[in-house]
Every structure is written in C-alpha cells, then in structure tokens.
Structure 1
Amino acid sequence: MQTDVLIVLGSPNSAAGVLSDTATSRLNCCIKHYKKDMLVLCTGGWGAHFNTAEQAHAFYAKRYLITQGIPENAFLDLALSQHTVDDAVKTLAIISKLNNIRLTVITSDYHVKRVKLIFETILANYPIQFIGAKSNLDKKTYDSLVAHEEKAMQSITKNGLYY
C-alpha cells in the first residue's frame, strides 16, 4: 500500500511567529487535502526574507496544522530549509528513509511552475503531484511575485540547478 505525503512549503511569518496570509493559505490547502493515514512534512527554517522568529517557520506551520486537527503522529521531521531548492534537498533527506510513498507538494499558485521544475529534478525517483494554493494578494503584489518566479526559472534554465 502506498503512503501519501503532503509537503507544505514554507513562507513568511512575523518575528513573533505569526503566519502570513500566504502561509495560512498553503496550510489550509494542506488541511483540505489531508486524510487519515497520510503523512505531513512542513518546510522552512530561518532567513531574513521569511523568518526571523525564535522558532523555525516549519515549527509554526506544524503547530497551526495540529490546532486544526491533524494529529501529531502524522508529521515527519521538519525540513529546516532556507529557500525552495533547499526545501527539495531537505525533503529528500527526510523521505529517503520511507518506502512506497507518493508526494503532494503544496505551495502558492504563483510558485508552482518553479517548484515543479526543482522538485522533479531533485526528487526524480518519486511520484509527485503539485497543488497551488490560491493567493489572496492584490494584483500588483501578485504580478511582482509572478515576475520574480519567471526570472528565477530563467536563471535555472540558463545556469542549471545547483544543490
């Protein structure tokens, strides 16, 4: 029997550990897709661009999911990553101990293309599906993030993926 693993990618939280709207949209998407006997892996450590709090972002993410009803025993180790490539690398280290798994990576809608490119390279030996949680951002912010993602993908395409 195959075990499903939901991987929720990190996103910003405040210095006090309050999750951003982006983070909660991804986490709520995880809750919506979670079913009994699935495993959950939260990513996100620290970084000036997303988390300067005392605890790792993944700690706050896991705590939120537990308060919303996902049992503590459903969680794999936290992937204390600093960026999207690191998410994939640290995820691989954690899931490589498991057999017969199927992955679902949850990120934001504007981030899916790059995540797919990265995860399908680093975790090439695993069946993976991707879900883009709907962003509730204003058009200017959303368009800025889409432009950032396009630029990042062009860089990967041009220079390769280093990890």
Structure 2
Amino acid sequence: MAVVVLGGGPQSKDGSLPEWTKRRCDAVAELYKCCKGKNQKLRIVTTSAGTAHTPSVIDSEGFPVTEASASAQYLIRAGVDAKHIVQEAQAWDTIGNAWFTRVMHSDIRGWRRLLVVTSDFHLNRTKAIFEWVFALPPAQRLRFVGISDEGIEIAEERGKREAKSLEGVKQNAQTLKTMESLHEWLYTKHGAYAAAVRVERLPPSERKIYNG
C-alpha cells in the first residue's frame, strides 16, 4: 500500500511547514512506524511543487524548495526511512497531485491501493478529485483520512474556497472520463499547466490562506 500525503501550501519564510501540513505528516509518520513494526511495506508519496497562487519558497542560497521535498525532510526527521519516500514535485494544485501521483508513481509501480491524507478542510474536494482521476481506466482503490484542523486560523476561509472549487471539479468529472481527455484538458485549459492560460495570482493581502 502507498500513502499519499498532500502538501498544504508553501512553508513559512523560516522554512518550516504550515501547522496543517505538519499534522498530516505526523499522522503519516505514526502510521509508518505502526506498519514497520508489523513488517508491512509502506511507501509514502509526498506531493506538490507549490501553489500557483503565491510565489514559491526560495532557500538562503536562492534555490526553490518544493512542498514535496519539505514534507519528505520533515518525515525523515520523524523517523521515516528515506528509501520509503518518493516525491511528486510537479503539481501546483490538487488535480495535479492526483494526476502526477498516478502517472509518475502508482501506474508505474503497480500500486492498486492508496491512502490519501489531507486536512478536514480539504477533504471533500480531495476525495472528489482523486476518485475522479483514479477511477479512470484502469481504476484503483482509494481510502482517505482527514486530519483535524481544529485551532487552525485559516481553516474556515480555506474551507469556503475549497467548497467553491469543488463545483468545478464535479463538472469536469462528468465530461472528462479518460486519461487522454484529462491530459488534454490539463495542458490546454488549466492555468497551472497550459501554455496559453495564466492561473489566478492572489494579491499579498489574500495569501495568508495559503502561507504558513
């Protein structure tokens, strides 16, 4: 089985992950330790290049830091063996997380059971997206875990944005029913991946809902 832990927006200026992403990673690290004790093989997929809505994080030497790599390093410090982690560092949104996780990892490795871990405020849209993408032939089995976002300042505001975006996901899932049609849509219509479309850039005053 593979566990997919979703990124949650760019890490803070000091390089630390947002609190909601830490909680996701902490839950995955505990699951990993439990499975390791039972001699079960568990692979972990950390996800995302970043978010297309806000600037990327740059380290002190001027290099970009992806959400996937930041989450991977956090998991390693928490006791996860690096050889059991693979990174999906191409996506700029949740649709991309599902697409790249599938075409880069699960289809190649033959994984047919995946557990997707995210926050409660992100769970409904995540389920809709992953169930859509992973139901396309050949279909794969999914389970989901929502991590509590109690006490997270931006959770309510992010939840409202997620609910609004969910409607678009449902509409696309009704019309894009093959991997080929989804591929065409991603690279001709989606602002984060299409050459001729520019994704929405949030003004600084609104970036707090993504930044930790």
Of 45, 62, 66, the match for 1:41:
45
% identical aligned pairs: 24
Q: 1:50 offset after TM fit, Å? A: 7.3
The residue type paired with residue 54 of structure 2 is H
Q: Which runs of 5+ in 2 are unaligned?
A: 59-63, 177-184, 187-212
Q: Which residue of 2 aligns with 1:7?
A: 4
Verify: 1:58 aligned to 2:68, yes or no.
Answer: yes
Per-residue CA deviation, residues 59-115 of structure 1 (Å, 9 max, x unaligned), is 110011011111111112433311100100110122111125310000001111111
Q: Is the 8 A contact 1:41 1:79 kept in 2?
A: no
Normalising to structure 1: TM-score of the pair?
A: 0.87
Describe the superposition over 1:31-78 as per-residue Cα deviations: whole angstroms up to 9, x where unpaired: 122222100000011335374232111111001101111111111243
RMSD: 2.0
SS of structure 1 residue aligned to 2:57: coil
Size of the aligned set, in residue pairs, is 159
Deviates more, 1:111-120 or 1:26-35: 26-35
Is 1:120 the counterpart of 2:131? The answer is: yes
Partner of 1:106: 117
The CA distance in 2 between the partners of 1:80 and 1:153, in whole Å, is 22
Compare 103-112 and 41-50 and name the one that shifted more.
41-50
Q: Deviations over 1:125-152 (max 9, x none)?
A: 11100001111335x7322222111111
Distance verdict in 2 for CA 1:65–1:95, change over 3 Å: same
Cα pair distance change 1:52/1:29, threshold 3 Å: same
Conserved? CA contact 1:11–1:50, under 8 Å: no
Moved over 4 A (4+): 159-162
Q: Which residue of 1 aligns with 2:154?
A: 141
| CA shift for structure 1 position 159 | 5.0
How far, CA to CA, are the matches of 1:16 and 1:132 in structure 2? 27
CA distance in 1 between counterparts of 2:56 and 2:129 reads 22
TM value normalised by structure 2: 0.68
In structure 1, the gaps of 5 or more residues are none
Name the SS of the counterpart of 1:76 in structure 2: strand
Task: For residue 97 of structure 1, give the secondary structure of its aligned residue in structure 2.
Answer: helix
Matches within 5 A, 1:21-100: 21-34=19-32, 35-36=35-36, 37-47=41-51, 48-49=53-54, 51-53=56-58, 54-93=64-103, 94-100=105-111
Identify the residue that residue 152 of structure 1 maps to in structure 2: 165
The Cα shift of 1:16 comes to 3.8
